[in-house]
Every structure is written in C-alpha cells, then in structure tokens.
Amino acid sequence: MDIEKINHSLALLANFGVLLGIIFLGLEIQQNSELMRIQIAQTRASDAIAAQELSINSPYIPQIRIKVNNGDQLTPEESIRYGDYFRAINRAQDNLLFQYQAGMLRDSEIRSIEGFVRGRISTAEANRQLWEQSKTIYSDDYIEFVDSILLDIPANN
C-alpha cells in the first residue's frame, strides 16, 4: 500500500467525520431550540398564573376591574393600583409578542395576545385612556400591534 492511498483513505475518513460532526451539531441546535421553546412556555405559564394570582389574591384589583368595566370613577389610590396592574399585564404581552416574532412561540400565541387586547384594553374607555397614556413604555412592535387592533374596535363597544 503506498502513501497516497493511505492519505486518500485518511482524508475520506476525516471528511466523513466532519460531515457526521456537522449533522450532530445540527441535531443539537434543533434540540436546544426545542428546549428553549419548552422553557419559554413554562415561563409563560408561570407568568400567567402569577398575574391571575395577583388579581385573585388582591383585595383591590377585582373590585377595581369591576369599577373600570362599569365605567365608575376610581379613587386616586385605585388609579395607581390599576395603572400598575395594567402596565404589568401589558409588559407581559409585549414580551410574548417579542418571543413570537423571534420564532419561539406558535401561531396560536399571537391569537392569545390579540384576545387579551380585545378582552382587556378595548373593553372600557378607562382602559383605552390608560393605554394611550402609557403605551410609550412598550416596544414599537407591541404599540403597532395593539393600535391596529383598537382601530377595528369602536371605542364605546
């Protein structure tokens, strides 16, 4: 066996090893992406539960939400509490939109964000006013997303 044949065989084996390494790397990246999606879904579920607990366990928020939905006037303290609650919930939705746009969430998630906008922001004039007052703290994409939905819903729905 001459040196050229040995070098040729070694080069083929090395190329095959590199090819296997690239395939393995691709599988690892795909698996890591799926694990990331699972972690994001878990975080989303935890955040949703925390937001619901905030409302459920609060002696204030449920009563304030009823007042807002009925169009009743809020006290200054209630306005502060509700404003903080409203901004926190919208911040979570803004984050969801970002994750969706990054390809980390499924298409159904965009419908849940839209449902939130339709079910919360558009349901009362106070919510629309609070949105207009606080929307500059969110991402441009979220502002555009919410505003485009609100354009399709009459203000006094």
Threshold 0.75, pTM exceeds: no
CA-CA-CA-CA torsion sign (111, 116, 118, 119): positive
- Rounded Cα distance between 92 and 25, Å, is 33
DSSP 135: G
Report the alpha-carbon angle 60-67-89, nearest 5.
Answer: 60
Of the two residues 68 and 28, the one the predictor is more confident about is 68
pLDDT one-digit tens code per residue, 77-130: 999 999 988 988 898 888 888 888 888 778 888 888 899 899 889 888 899 999
> Buried b / exposed e across 33-66, counting CB within 10 Å, b at 16+?
eeeeeeebeeebeebeeeeeeeeeeeeebeebbe
Give the model's pLDDT for residue 46: 75
pLDDT the model gives residue 71 = 92
Domain ranges for the chain, please list them: 1-57, 59-157
150 or 26: which leads in pLDDT: 150
Average pLDDT, the chain: 85
What secondary structure letter does DSSP report for 138?
S
